[in-house]
Amino acid sequence: MAPDSSARGSVRSAAEVNEQIRALWVRAGGTLSAQERAEYELLVVEWAAAIRSEVIEAA
């Protein structure tokens, strides 16, 4: 499972996290198990933090 990056901030770019999300869906065949769903939720939180960080940096 992906490390919880919310406590330390995202070190990966939104694009990197998005790629991991896409890979998870491919591996799962489009249907997530409970464990994969938990991983997906962590990745989405990390992706959102990365997006916010990139928007702030761009401003």
Using one digit for the tens of pLDDT, what is the confidence trace for 13-49?
999 999 999 999 999 999 999 999 999 999 999 999 9
Q: Is 9 left (phi over 0), alpha (psi -120 to 50) or beta?
A: left
Q: What share of the chain is helix, strand, coil (3-state, %, to 5)?
A: 70, 0, 30
CA angle centred on 24, ends 23 and 26, rounded to 5°: 65
Q: What is the pTM of this model?
A: 0.76
